[in-house]
């Protein structure tokens, strides 16, 4: 810098005041740009403190520049180019740590104009960086932290760059509408990228909380969601949530919704970690008392069938879930109790229910009986077997609160078991073992220590 100044001094044989000014301002502009470049290049380094510091300086520069522009043009202007540069750098730099991003996002969340701009620029940037998955990932991180503005919400008065007093009120910045459009554009542009599965899931997870409320037109997401829902597997589980919001709040009609929901009750359902989320929703979907009983019966049969290989943490959900269904739809009680009558045979050779039939209407669930509950009632974990025995009791209690059963895991169960106060010394086995192998045990058949 000093060198530059010297050069300027040496070169200047300037006498004219205007010219002097012009030279000075040119030099200042040049230095300013140099400075910004330096600051931006700091992002490439490893020092987090340096990054954060430079980010702060940059943001204050944005403020200053914006204020200057405002003063000059009398309308609200935002130093777009500078800010875009910053955001681009932030997103593209692979070594950028979360801290920097969090800081930036934290700031942005407070100040609306910045948000608007950042959303816009991010959208553009993500357009550019389609091929980079990690960039998409970071874009997601950035976008996730931007809060959408509700339809009726007032634009906050506190802008990052103080708005000039006399500026026109008409400017788009002051309308929530424009913010929402920006927001939607940013998200949609992100969604257009072929996303990695993990990111896809994450977007779906934040969909109904973060994205949908801030969208300009939520129905734009309809295709995205239905496609995800149809794709099956955990993705469809997650899409269900957004779809549910669309259906309930935006009047989306979804053909064969229950058939698809029925298809989601497959063998993997009880193993995935989003199952509690799913069951919460499924409970809502099946809570209507206007559902036909064949449908409910099919759901019950299917759920109990897949629970035959489920872990206790899933089984603990299944039993109250089925109980609630039976309670809501007393016509389905025939599944657990069928009185003898002339028109139906007293015994069967085969379960009339067809597990592989995709259409619940044709699955013959109502002709069947809920035999699947019997092994569960004999489950090795006594709590589960007790839980499953509620079907033997009179249906006195009202519906179970599903929320109490959703968040169990092996660990919570084991720790609960080991934390139990011992009231009575546990019983020892009767003939005390004298050897590693006991007669009649299968261990000796497949394993030997010789």
Q: Are 344 and 411 in contact (CB under 8 A)?
A: no
344: buried, middle or exposed (CB in 10 Å: 19+, 13-18, 0-12)?
A: exposed
CB of 201 to another protein, least distance (A): 16
The yes or no reply on residue 276 touching another protein (CB under 8 A) is: no
Which token pair is 406? 């959703």
CB atoms within 10 A of CB 340: 7
CB of 233 to another protein, least distance (A): 15
The Cα–Cα gap between 311 and 381 comes to 10
| Closer Cβ to another protein, 13 or 339, answer by number | 339
CB of 293 to another protein, least distance (A): 16
The secondary structure of 95-145 as a DSSP string is T--HHHHHHHHHHHHH-HHHHHHHHHHHHHHHHHTTT-HHHHHHHHHHHHT
The yes or no reply on residue 305 touching another protein (CB under 8 A) is: yes
The Cα–Cα gap between 263 and 299 comes to 10
The yes or no reply on residue 68 touching another protein (CB under 8 A) is: no
CB atoms within 10 A of CB 147: 17
Site residues (CB under 8 A) for another protein, limited to 306-325: 307-312, 315
| Closer Cβ to another protein, 218 or 312, answer by number | 312
Site residues (CB under 8 A) for another protein, limited to 126-145: none
The yes or no reply on residue 198 touching another protein (CB under 8 A) is: no
Site residues (CB under 8 A) for another protein, limited to 320-349: 333, 335-339, 346-349
The yes or no reply on residue 231 touching another protein (CB under 8 A) is: no
The yes or no reply on residue 424 touching another protein (CB under 8 A) is: yes
Which token pair is 433? 């073992």
The Cα–Cα gap between 251 and 281 comes to 17
CB of 417 to another protein, least distance (A): 4
The yes or no reply on residue 350 touching another protein (CB under 8 A) is: yes
CB of 200 to another protein, least distance (A): 19
The Cα–Cα gap between 296 and 77 comes to 59
The yes or no reply on residue 370 touching another protein (CB under 8 A) is: yes
Site residues (CB under 8 A) for another protein, limited to 12-41: none
The yes or no reply on residue 293 touching another protein (CB under 8 A) is: no
DSSP conformation class of 66: H
CB of 322 to another protein, least distance (A): 12
Report CA-CA distances (Å) from 360 to 331, 364, 395: 16, 8, 26
| Closer Cβ to another protein, 15 or 429, answer by number | 429
Site residues (CB under 8 A) for another protein, limited to 82-121: none
The yes or no reply on residue 377 touching another protein (CB under 8 A) is: yes
Stretch that binds another protein, among 65-73, 216-224, 256-264, 385-393 (CB under 8 A): 385-393
Instruction: Tell me how far apart the 2 most distant CA atoms of the chain are, in Å.
Output: 117
CB of 102 to another protein, least distance (A): 24
The yes or no reply on residue 380 touching another protein (CB under 8 A) is: yes
DSSP conformation class of 156: P
The Cα–Cα gap between 62 and 302 comes to 59
3-state secondary structure of 9: helix
Which token pair is 318? 């299944």
User: Which residue from 30, 38, 194, 447 is in contact with another protein, where contact means CB under 8 A?
Assistant: 447
User: Which residue from 11, 15, 253, 435 is in contact with another protein, where contact means CB under 8 A?
Assistant: 435
Residue found under tokens 């209690």: 397
The yes or no reply on residue 254 touching another protein (CB under 8 A) is: no
| Closer Cβ to another protein, 253 or 418, answer by number | 418
The yes or no reply on residue 280 touching another protein (CB under 8 A) is: no
Where are the extended beta strands (E) located within 139-267?
none
| Closer Cβ to another protein, 121 or 369, answer by number | 369
CB of 350 to another protein, least distance (A): 7
Instruction: Specify the length of the chain in residues.
Output: 450
User: Which residue from 78, 160, 224, 391 is in contact with another protein, where contact means CB under 8 A?
Assistant: 391
The Cα–Cα gap between 6 and 4 comes to 5
300: buried, middle or exposed (CB in 10 Å: 19+, 13-18, 0-12)?
A: buried
| Closer Cβ to another protein, 84 or 351, answer by number | 351
| Closer Cβ to another protein, 1 or 442, answer by number | 442
């Amino acid at each position: 810098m000093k060198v530059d100044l010297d050069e300027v001094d040496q070169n200047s044989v300037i006498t004219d005041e205007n010219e002097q000014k012009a030279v000075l301002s040119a030099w200042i502009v040049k230095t300013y740009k140099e400075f910004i470049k330096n600051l931006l290049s700091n992002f490439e380094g490893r020092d987090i403190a340096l990054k954060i510091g430079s980010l702060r300086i940059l943001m204050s520069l944005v403020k200053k520049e914006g204020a200057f522009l405002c003063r000059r043009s009398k309308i609200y202007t935002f130093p777009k180019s500078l800010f875009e540069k910053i955001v681009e750098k932030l997103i593209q730099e692979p070594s950028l740590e979360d801290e920097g991003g969090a800081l930036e996002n934290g700031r942005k969340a407070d100040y609306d104009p910045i948000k608007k701009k950042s959303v816009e620029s991010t959208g553009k940037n993500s357009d550019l960086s389609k091929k980079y998955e990690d960039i998409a990932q970071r874009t997601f991180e950035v976008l996730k932290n931007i809060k959408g503005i509700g339809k009726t919400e007032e634009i906050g008065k506190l802008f990052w760059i103080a708005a000039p007093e006399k500026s026109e009120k008409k400017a788009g910045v002051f309308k929530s509408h424009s913010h929402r459009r920006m927001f939607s554009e940013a998200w949609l542009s992100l969604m257009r990228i072929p996303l990695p599965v993990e990111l896809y899931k994450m977007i779906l997870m934040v969909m109904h909380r973060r994205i949908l409320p801030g969208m300009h037109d939520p129905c734009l997401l309809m295709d995205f969601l239905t496609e995800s829902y149809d794709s099956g597997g955990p993705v469809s589980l997650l899409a269900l949530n957004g779809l549910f919001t669309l259906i309930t709040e935006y009047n989306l009609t979804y053909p064969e919704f229950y058939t698809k929901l029925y298809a989601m009750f497959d063998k993997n359902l009880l193993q995935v970690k989003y199952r509690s989320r799913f069951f919460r929703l499924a409970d809502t979907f099946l809570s209507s008392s206007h559902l036909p009983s064949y449908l409910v019966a099919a759901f019950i049969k299917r759920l109990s069938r897949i629970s035959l290989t489920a872990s206790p943490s899933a089984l603990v959900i299944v039993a109250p879930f089925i109980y609630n269904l039976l309670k809501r739809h007393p016509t389905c009680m025939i599944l657990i109790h069928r009185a003898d009558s002339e028109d139906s045979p007293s015994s069967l050779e085969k379960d009339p229910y067809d597990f592989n039939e995709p259409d619940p209407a044709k699955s013959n669930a109502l002709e069947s009986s809920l035999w699947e509950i019997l092994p569960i009632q004999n489950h090795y974990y006594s709590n589960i077997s007790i839980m499953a025995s509620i079907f033997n009791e009179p249906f006195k209690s009202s519906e179970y609160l599903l929320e109490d059963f959703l968040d169990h895991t092996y660990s919570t169960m084991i720790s609960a078991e080991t934390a139990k106060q011992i009231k009575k010394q546990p019983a020892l086995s009767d003939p005390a073992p004298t050897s590693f192998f006991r007669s009649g045990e299968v261990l000796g058949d497949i394993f030997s220590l010789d």
